[in-house]
Amino acid sequence: MEAENIYTVIAAKLRQQIMQGDFKDGGVFPSESELTKRFQVTRTTVRHALDLLVNEGLLLKSQGRRNRVRIRKITKTTWNFASFSEGMRASHEIPVSKVCKAEIVTTDDGRFFNLVRLRGIDRTPKVQFMTYEDTKVPIELFPQIERFDFSVVSLYETMRKEYGVYPFKGESQIFAVLADKFLAKSFAVTEGYPLVKAVQSIFDREGRLVEKVSIVYAPELIIKLTQDAGH
């Protein structure tokens, strides 16, 4: 293996251990010396690997002290929602949605339209999937919403144009998860690869719940999400 790639492999192994809970949040991380012996590499290689984890927000670096783990549940509030499709078009990308499930379900909280999609961008001849979204919207607010084809139309645009409902405020909790076989194939990563999942409740200006959604992000989005979540 080329020397320039060794530290990224080491970082990936350490990242997976952090994500799957082998190290406690706030706990002391193995020292450079310990990792040098474990992986049989130079201290410089280990240092590069640790720097990657620090930059991703998974380790907290203290001058003259051991690194500490910094992976935890994050709560975040976001305002004035735009749809995935709108965001991609604003970035001059072509949005793509693959519907995995679209059905009416009944829960203890009522009846919902359950929409499960892979969202991505056109990278002809392939599609680069960016998120896996499992959405539930209340039938009481959106009667007959199941009639729309959400592989070609935007959910939020439909809410606004067809029902006069405007998603406005979102409350999110962010977790670390490991890719199962389906997500690994969808995001072109190995099974067990660490990913980020956001569980959100979306409200309109009147405070009505308009959507409950869980979103798993492709690895390309993890670093930006981790950095933004601290602000």
pLDDT of 10 above 70 = yes
Cβ atoms of 184 and 190 closer than 8 Å: yes
Q: What pLDDT, in 10s, does the model give residues 105-142?
A: 999 999 999 999 999 989 888 899 989 999 999 999 99
Q: Which residue in 180, 181, 188 sits closest to 219, CA to CA? A: 188
pLDDT at 72: 55
CA-nearest of 14, 105, 92 to 51 is: 14
Question: What pLDDT is attached to residue 100?
Answer: 97
- 110 in the Ramachandran plot: left (φ > 0), alpha (ψ -120 to 50) or beta? left
CB proximity list for 17: less than 8 A, separation 6 or greater: 23
- Residue 69: strand, helix, or coil: strand
Residues shown for the chain = 231
Cα(207)–Cα(31) distance, rounded to whole angstroms? Answer: 49
Q: Report pLDDT digits (tens) over 130-140.
A: 899 999 999 99
What's the pLDDT score for residue 74?
47
How confident is the model over 144-185, as pLDDT tens digits?
Answer: 999 999 999 999 999 999 999 999 888 888 887 888 999 999
- pTM (2 decimals)? 0.66
| Residue 9 pLDDT | 85
Buried b (16+ CB within 10 A) or exposed e, 170-191: bebebbbbebeeebbebbebee
Question: pLDDT band for position 82 (50/70/90)?
Answer: low
pLDDT attached to residue 226: 40
Q: At 133, is the secondary structure helix, strand, or coil?
A: strand
Indicate the pLDDT class of residue 89, thresholds 50, 70 and 90.
confident
% of residues, the chain, pLDDT over 70: 86
d(CA 122, CA 173): 29
Residue 120's DSSP bridge partners are 96, 129
39: pLDDT confidence band, cut at 50, 70 and 90? very high
Give the mean pLDDT of 212-229. Answer: 66
Angle 127-196-159 from CA coordinates, rounded to 5°: 65
Residue 4 pLDDT = 54
